[in-house]
Amino acid sequence: MPRMKATEAAVIVLEKEGVDCAFGVPGAAINPFYAAMKERGSIRHILARHVEGASHMAEGYTRAVAGNIGVCIGTSGPAGTDMITGLYSASADSIPILTITGQAPRAKLDKEDFQAVDIESIAKPVTKWAVTVKEPALVPFVFQKAFHIMKSGRPGPVHIDLPLDVQLSEIDFDPDTYQPMEVYKPKATRAQCEKALDMLLAHDFPLIVAGGGIINADASDLLVELAETLHVPVIPTLMGWGTIPDDHGLMAGMVGLQTSHRYGNATFGLSDFVLGIGNRWANRHTGSVETYTEGRKFVHVDIEPTQIGRVFPPDYGIVSDAKAALELFVDIAKERKAAGSLKDYGKWVESCRHRKKVMLRKTHFDEVPLKPQRVYEEMNEEFDRDTVYVTTIGLSQIAGAQFLKVYNPRHWINCGQAGPLGWTLPAALGVRAARPEAKIVALSGDYDFQFMLEELAVGAQHKLPYLHVVVNNSYLGLIRQAQRGFEMDFEVSLAFENINVEGQAGDAPPGYGVDHVAVAEGLGCKAIRVSSPNEFKEAFARAHALMEEHQVPVVLEFILERVTNIAMGTEVDNINEFEEILCLDPNLSLERPVDMGRDAEEPQPAQRDA
């Protein structure tokens, strides 16, 4: 039996489980682990500037490619507490990442040693499993179990804490016979899927709600195939955006209080049945349960048993991995189509498509300072179907979801439930590390950008180019808009007179505070500022050229008007529209179609990555 350091065994397990990239910050208590990584030389390491940033890089890395597991490494004490926000974000959105910390020697754990904290207890609420390894011989098997837990059932993060003396101990371990544990995923039965489709076909105005679990299961093609076979419209959630292309004939728009389309909310209001797959009925999607559920029946399919009925009791629930359920749904739907027993939803689909054409929000504004809607209009014209967007929270993300277009799974990478400011920049770096050839565009408001902008230096050092769009109104815009309900505008302005730029031609506009261009360039990146609509085309062209030439992140900052309220509301049927509406048909009926005969054009096949 080969004998080796426990840390070498741990690194070998990482290799065997498919890890080839990690993010982190070394320190005294984790240096033995880093020594093993250096000795084996099999895992690329990207040095972050903040351990929270490293945790978000790991999350972006996981989200970018099916099967990836992002790894974040840090020393004892504050490194572990810095990881907690990243663990919370990953846990909330069912994203498997592995975080690893060093720890004081076992004999010092209750002696208030330097940087010794009970990180296991701190991490437990935001992980699937958190453990301090106190027996050296357990190290390889703890790492093996970590991957099994992260991938089984509802995916999620795991934290491993390694005392210094455990890392330095020698153990027996045979890498040649190591085998990853088989992952457990519950599977729907045929009888369950038959019943769910019977319920759907008993209704006249059904919808499929496609959640992020479909993307986690790498099952978007099956979702599109099911929708096309049944000829039933699809409402993706924010986390499921990209499961069906935005220009597909059966993509009926997103629903919700903020990240929604007018036509999506209108269509949902007319529905009488919803088949939810891999979604969790998030409150920004549903609003109040009473309004959301009134007048319609629900079937809920989810990999996590306790998720079914957590927000509201569905009329029928199925515990299943999304891919396993969709495979059965597709097989059954095809059999019924061949037998001529499917319902004809042509008129329903036609009415959904009509709303999608006419219930739009205006984007073409020529004002200076810029209106944000114009920025997203220009982004849609500039960026093609293969663009991967990365973003977190704020009016920038909400407006982005209302106006941008997404055509593929894993092309909208957005932390949903946790929504930590600062997430966008490091996550985009993680996406770039996972997908070297992808066209990556990050989207931030000025405050999200400022939270962790030091990580730009990571992109410069490690040559991780991407385009970072910053929409700058020098405000905590979403909080300012929310404060309207309290009739205040209090402590949400980021504006100040910057003594270093005032009055200098070409610098930041007076009163906007931080000079993002100067900061980005000081961190080794390139940056461009845009103040007028007639500068868009040239700025995008320059940004692409700078990325190509220097292989570093390029910041493209758009100077917005200070105050723009973005459409949102208290219920899915009560959304406030603050700007003009484009081409709303005054004769548009918001009633359900009476004639259910099919005469709508068939949907075109989905366009997907090779």
pTM to 2 decimal places: 0.92
Closest among 430, 384, 376 to 408, alpha carbons compared = 384
- pLDDT of amino acid 419: 83
Identify the CATH class of 190-359.
Answer: alpha beta
Over 90: is that where the pLDDT of 478 sits? no
Could you tell me if residue 153 is left (phi over 0), alpha (psi between -120 and 50 degrees) or otherwise beta?
A: left
* Residue 425: active-site member: no
Beta carbons within 8 Å of 298's beta carbon, 6+ residues apart:
273, 274, 275, 276, 312, 314, 315, 316
pLDDT of residue 309: 95
479 among known catalytic residues: yes
Active-site residue, selected from the candidate residues 11, 12, 14, 25: 25
Mean pLDDT of 235-257: 96
Arithmetic mean of pLDDT, 354-367: 92
Give the pLDDT band (50/70/90) at residue 587.
low
- Known catalytic membership, residue 25: yes
Q: Which of 479, 492, 519, 588 is catalytic?
A: 479
Residue 595's pLDDT is: 46
The reported pLDDT for the residue numbered 428 is 98
**Per-residue pLDDT for 122 more than 60?**
yes
| Catalytic residue flag (residue 51) | yes
pLDDT at 505 over 70: no
Instruction: Provide the CATH number for the domain formed by 372-559 in this structure.
Output: 3.40.50.970
Distance CA 237, CA 280 (A): 9
State the average pLDDT for the chain: 92
Task: Give 560's DSSP letter.
Answer: B
Please tell me which residue in 11, 51, 413, 425 is annotated as part of the active site.
Answer: 51
Which residues sit opposite 207 in a β-bridge? 274
d(CA 153, CA 220): 18
Domain 3-177 has CATH 3.40.50.970: yes
**98 labelled catalytic:** no
Distance CA 388, CA 227 (A): 24
Asked if 3-177 and 372-559 have one fold, the answer is yes
Q: Which of 200, 270, 476, 552 is flagged as catalytic?
A: 476
The domain limits of the chain are 3-177, 190-359, 372-559
pLDDT, tens digit, for every residue of 39-76? 999 999 999 999 999 999 999 999 999 999 999 999 99
pLDDT digits 0-9 by tens, 267-287: 999 999 999 999 999 999 999
> Active site residue: 224, 257, 398, 421, which one?
421
At 6, the amino acid letter reads A
How high is the pLDDT of residue 603? 35
